[in-house]
Structure 1
C-alpha cells in the first residue's frame, strides 16, 4: 500500500529536486548578481516558426564546411542541411540558437534566430529542387512541427523574412507542393474577389511581411506566391492576398 512520506523524506526529496535542477542548468546560464534558487517549473525555449534557405554553393560538402566555420560575412550556421540526394544533416540542436536568419523580421518577431528553426537546402539557386530533397524536407517538417507545436502555416523563406537583402529559396522552390502536404500558407483554388476598400498593404503586413522596404516586400511576396520577382502590384494580387488574409483570420490562434 502507499504510505504518506515523512517530513524527513519530504525534506530529502526537496533537496534532491534542487540539486537536480542545479545540475541541469549550466553555470553560464546563471546570473552572478543573483542568489541561485532554482525552480523545476521550466522547460527549454521552443521555436515558433521554420525558415527555409538555399545554400547557393556547389555541393552539400561545401555548405557543411561553411556552416561549421565561417563565410565572408562571419560565422553562420543552421539547424539542418538537406543534401540534393535527400541526406539530412543536423548541425545545431533544436533547442539552441543557430545563426541563419540575420537581420530579419516576421510579424512581431525581430529576433528570428532565437524564434526559429533554420533549414538549409543544398541548391545553387538556379537548379530545380530534387524530389529526394523535398521528400526529406516534408518528413523533417512533420517531425519539427509536431515536437515543437509549431503552426503548420509558419513555414517561410529567408527571402520572406529579409526582403531587402535575401531572395532564397528561389522562384523554383515548390511552395505549392509543401502546401499540398499541409505546410505553409497557400491560396485556395477558388479565390473570392477582394471587397471594396481592401488594403493589400495591411494584408501583406498581417501575413508577416516587413513593410519598411515596400518594393522588396512585394518582390518577396511574388517570389513566394507567384513565381516571379516583380516589385510592383500585379493583376490578381488583391484576390490572392484577401484569401491568405482570410485563412489567417480563420486559423486557430497561435499557441
Structure 2
C-alpha cells in the first residue's frame, strides 16, 4: 500500500541561492535536526542569521514543510564531498528529520519520507544509490542521521542502497572511494579514512561491536561499490 500523501506546508526560508555552474540535483542528503522540536528546527532553518536551511523538514508527526524550492541551492550540507562532487549544496536536495539522534525515527515521519523521496527521485532522475547520509559526505564532522535511522527499510522500497548477500573481498578503502566516500581527499581532515569507516559502520553495520575492520566490512563495502556501479 502506498504511503498516504501528507499535506506539504510552504514555510519559505530566506537562506538559499542559485545552484552554481548550472548544477541540478543528483543527490538527496538526509539529516536529523538535533533540536528539541520541529518548531525549533524550523525557526533555525528560517532565520537569516543562522545561514542554514534545507529543502524539506519532516516532523515526528509526519508534517512536511518545504523551506526552499528544489531548483534552488539550500545551505544544508556544508563542507564535504561525495565522489567527485565537492559543492554538495549545488548538487543535492536536503531533507531534515525532526530527531535528536537518540531515539528511533517515528513511524509517521518515516511514512512521510517514503512518500516524499520517490517524487523527488523521479523529478530529478536520482537513483537509490544517491540517497545518502549527511555523515557520508562529511564524516569528519557530522554523524546524522545516525545509527537509529532505518536505511534497510528505505532500500526495500528502492529508495536507498543496501548491500546484497553475495560474497566479495577487496581493500576496504579502495571500495569505499569507488562508492563515493571521501577517503583520500577531504578539506579539514588530515586522514579522512577512519571517519569514513565510522560513517560506513553507522549506516550499514551499526550493530558491529569490534571497532576494527573485518572481512564482513570488506565484503559489504565491495558489494556496495559493485552495486552502485552496475
Which TM-score applies when normalising by structure 2? Answer: 0.83
**Higher radius of gyration, 1 or 2:** 1
Structure-2 separation of matches of 1:46 and 1:168? 24
Match of 2:139 among 143, 160, 163: 163
Indicate which of 158, 176, 181 corresponds to 1:204: 176
Q: Distance in 2 between matches of 1:94 and 1:48?
A: 11
Which of 201, 214, 229 is the matching residue for 1:222? 201
1:45 deviates by 4.5
Conserved in 2, the CA contact under 8 Å of 1:45 and 1:95? no
Structure 1 position 228, deviation (Å)? 5.2
Equivalent pairs, count:
203
**Pair 1:193-2:171 in alignment:** no
Poorly superposed stretches of 4+, deviation over 6 Å: none
Hey, what's the Cα distance between the residues in 2 that align with 1:234 and 1:102?
31
The structure whose residues are more often strand, as a share, is 2
- Structure 2 unaligned runs (5+)? 1-17, 185-191
Computed over aligned residues only, the root mean square deviation of the Cα atoms, in angstroms, reads 1.9
Q: Judge which range, 206-215 or 234-243, deviates more.
A: 234-243
Match of 1:123 in 2: 99
Give the match for residue 133 of structure 1.
109
String of CA shifts for 1:171-207, please: whole Å, max 9, x gaps. Answer: 000000000010122111x23132xxx2211100011
Q: Could you tell me how far 1:231 is from its partner in structure 2?
A: 5.9
Deviates more, 1:112-121 or 1:226-235: 226-235
Give 5+ residue unaligned stretches, structure 1: 1-28, 30-43, 251-255
TM-score normalised to the size of structure 1? 0.75
Aligned partner (choices 44, 47, 50) of residue 69 of structure 1: 47
